[in-house]
Amino acid sequence: MSLRAVVVDDEAPARAKLRRYLAESEGVQWIGEASDGREAVRLIQRDRPDVVFLDISMPGLDGFAVLQALGDPLPAEIVFVTAHDDQAVRAFEVHAFDYLLKPVGPERFARALARLRDKVAPALGIAGRVDGLLGDAPPPQRYLDRLLLPSGDAAELVRVERIDRIESDRNYLDVYVDGASHRLRGTLDAMQGRLNPRHFVRVNRSAIVRLDAVREVQPWPDGERRLLLADGARVTWTRRYLANLPEGLSLRA
């Protein structure tokens, strides 16, 4: 069965480009489009697509307002398609599947579509046969596997296992990858909720570290710990956050 896709963008050329990409792709079917947020809500509620390629900046209701109007849980996977690179954290906070920066090239679009098929297509094959058997099961927790980070005048989609640490600075986050810092707008609390706690841990009020980036754990005054990370950074693991160690992690010899 094919993925059923809807395109939402207030610019006709942008909609035409995505329609062309969809027409050239296997395993996906374009079923409609909308040119503003209110039209998008009606279309999505009526046709119940599998995926929505959604612009953020639109007159009336923007992309985030569309999701708010649709309610939770969302009726489709959401792929934001936007010219703005400063909304990535917010996009993943609302559980967007992907975040494509305009102009979207065919290779980047194809990669996003392939990941969508891997996730959604197996469920399509058994739809209608489970007859509500799993209706009461809680939805799986989705954690980030990639993060869009500013890089000069462009942006780079980085796998989270390359991130060593994330530090907060008022309303911004500094994300450290391979020794370089990338600044995003957002809060550490929101980011913590989107990272798998088996791999990332909050060590103090202003820092999250990836556990595999820790090279040494040293004793520190008042029962705290001092972490030496792979990039040479030193971060204090405070007593408050030591009291909430992730399951399966022990600092005892």
131-183 pLDDT, tens digit per residue, is 333 333 344 446 888 887 877 667 778 889 999 999 998 778 899 998 899 98
How much is the mean pLDDT over the chain? Answer: 83
Q: What is the pLDDT of residue 177?
A: 93
Residues of the chain with CATH 3.40.50.2300: 3-126
**Residue 163's closest CA among 131, 202, 208?**
208
* Residue 155 half-sphere exposure toward CB, CA atoms < 13 A: 23
Largest CA distance in the chain: 63
CATH top-level class of 3-126: alpha beta
Q: What angle do CA 68, 70, 72 make, to 5 degrees?
A: 80
The hierarchical CATH code for the domain 161-242 is 2.40.50.1020
Residues of the chain with CATH 2.40.50.1020: 161-242
Is residue 226 within 8 A of residue 238, CB to CB? The reply is no
Q: What is the pLDDT of residue 123?
A: 47
The pTM of this model reads: 0.52
Peptide bond into 246 cis (omega under 30): no
d(CA 210, CA 128) in angstroms, rounded, equals: 41
**Residue 230's closest CA among 210, 205, 206, 253?**
210
Residues of the chain where predicted confidence (pLDDT) is lower than 50: 123-141, 253
228-238 pLDDT, tens digit per residue, is 999 999 999 99
At 84, which amino acid appears?
H
Q: What is the pLDDT of residue 126?
A: 35
Q: What is the pLDDT of residue 142?
A: 67
